[in-house]
Structure 1
Amino acid sequence: MKKRIAILGSTGSIGRQALDVIYEHVDKFQVVALTTNRNVELLAQQVEAFHPSYVGIVDSESVQEFKNYGLTGVEVLSGKECLKNIATLPEVDLVLVAVVGISGLEPTIAALEAGKDVALANKESLVAGGHLVVEAARKSESKIIPVDSEHSAIFQCLAGCDDPNKIKRIYLTASGGPFRNYSKDQLRHVTVEEALNHPNWRMGKKVTIDSATLMNKGLEVIEAHWLFGLSIEQIQVVIHPQSVIHSMVEYIDGSIIAHMGKTDMRLPILYALSWPQRLESSVGSLELAAMEPLTFEMPDFDRFPCLGLAYKALEIGGTMPVVLNAADEVAVEKFLRGEISFMEIPVMIEQAMKSHKAVQNPDLNTILRVDHGIRRQLM
């Protein structure tokens, strides 16, 4: 029987690659639903190729444009609620949450509460509302399968570990981004084009800038805390420029299990969609004898303060990670528009955190209220 998939954010980078994976394995997967914010031209192409029963268009004003394509056999849902509606469809087995931003939080919780397994590519769901997401999964006994390459690696390295007390620590690897060897003075003058030129990965603009500031790794630290139930002391970031080892788990006996693979997001996407099975991939294998030496170094918190801010937000807890995430999104957008410099990104985030008194154990409404307030404050 085919696994029935809904993709929230099918026109984004992860969504498009997920459909590439599904196309290679049409005998294993059935696309039930796709959503977009407003990229209805690409959505229409995807509908023609995969014939879903439902589509969701968050931007209601774009619905008529989609209908003008004259596609039949597909039900159109619209508005912000369409993400939750599609995430809870009875005919869906697995929901891939690949939307960007805090808009992924509510549909992620809704999918888990409805008993769906979730392939999670939305960092904000765990950063802003990790306790709510984990609790929803616990109650419904649904599974969260991480899509991020680092968390997918940890997820796979933990296979067969039935006791969390056996884990000493995990290592989240980071390439270091395009500015790994830049001085602080050089970092003050980097351009948007330079920051978008990641040496190893091809990702969306927001994630690429976050990788350059190391905020992406900071957000992953918070994600790892919730995904794997680890303390802040058990989560270590290590710079690994070759991006061959995607992360590692160290056990209490000193053994380290590492996950290696090509730098291609289709691999963790395929694993998340096919879990607990493994399927063949066209990505190919590493040529071990041809690889350059693998090196590791500690991150520089002084040159890349975003990483330290993320650890601080996790340490404080409550709504502070919400502030971190919202402030980062606004700051990155301002940088992309040329309104602030690269090194002003962490300054904006730190100022927002200092101005906020964290609310512990926030409910969903509090999270959304704080998120909206920080964005309005910084815009």
Structure 2
Amino acid sequence: MISVNGGVCAASGFMAASAAAGIRKKGREDMALLFSKEPCKVAGTFTSNVVKAAPVQWDKKIVASGNDVHAVVVNSGIANACTGKEGLDACLQLARSVAYQFGNEISEDSVLVASTGVIGMQLPVEKMQDAISEMVLKLSDGEENATLASKAIMTTDTVNKEFAVEFELSGKKVHLGGMTKGSGMIHPRMCTMLCFLTTDVAISKELLQKALSADITDTYNMISVDGDTSTNDTCVILSNGTAGNEEITEENEDFKTFCEALHQVNSTLATRMAADGEGASHLFTAKVVGAKSKEEARTLARAVVSSTLTKAAIYGKDANWGRILCAMGYSGAEFDPEKVDLYFVNDIGKIALYKQGVPLDFDEDFALEILSYQEVTALIEMNEGSETATAWGCDLTHEYVDINAEYRT
């Protein structure tokens, strides 16, 4: 399995385009279109927030229907959330516009819609329809188009996020790639961002959904920037089956390999989102090992990266390990604190902070050196079992407050 360029266009048969619809700053591209001429099986996971944006409602219905999908149209700048019937009508109009541009060779029910941005504003549908016309003419399977599409869906992100892999199934080269956006309003309750995945692997819809639903548990559900779960969270994967592999219809070795590829793409994109948290200066990772159960390990790791006090300490380069133990203690997991070992670790080195219920003397200067590095991991050894989990977050900076104090204005 190797990483390759091309993002959402790495898989054969997929094309992308982007355009400036005038939703955001003049001249800034703020819409993207993904398209496959061949019909795609689709699987998806969506926000657990009770307040669900119109495009989430639209996409959930299509995924549940079992319809094949040909296209995804995405905008940034306006979330189309809390917009009532007008917001739902906008989804229909946009999907219908995409279908119309292809001479109605595809149906409106085969077009997914996604939005990200400010809540409570209506979409400028006519401007977006003009942009759709432009994007259909610009569709290409080139790397540049894939990258431009990944940039068009950004909001407060500072970098675009795309990744793809190539691997073999039944003697055929196959591909899986994706793009995500996510920087703020990120918290692990499925699925905490927008994510669009494409693959040319032939696989049944049922197993596609099973693979995606299982993998988000240890990837996108394990990141946290600020504790807020968005109204628009969407993760979809489209499979057009053009690679020519024998269709995966059972949980065999090919399915296992596909799941490994999916995990590599998702974990890479999840880490990049955590590192690009609004105002972040550190990627902060919590790795729990030796837990009694997988769910306990996940609960503990998520609690640590979500702790406001711990995130502030990481920003201040303060080895205040007591905040980590405190977060573990209120997480809801049952464990014996007198069995826990705690370390900070990264490429610079490893420093022991707490062992078997006893605080350790440590070199504060060396701890400062470790915490001054852009990436730092809290390694938490529970010494109660064999299960492991990793969560990703970032520090909490003054810039985060500045960004969100004036996000709408």
Give 1 or 2: higher strand fraction.
2
TM-score normalised by L of structure 2: 0.25
Give 1 or 2: higher helix fraction.
1
Bigger radius of gyration, 1 or 2? Answer: 2
Bigger relative contact order, structure 1 or 2 (CA pairs below 8 A, ≥6 apart): 2
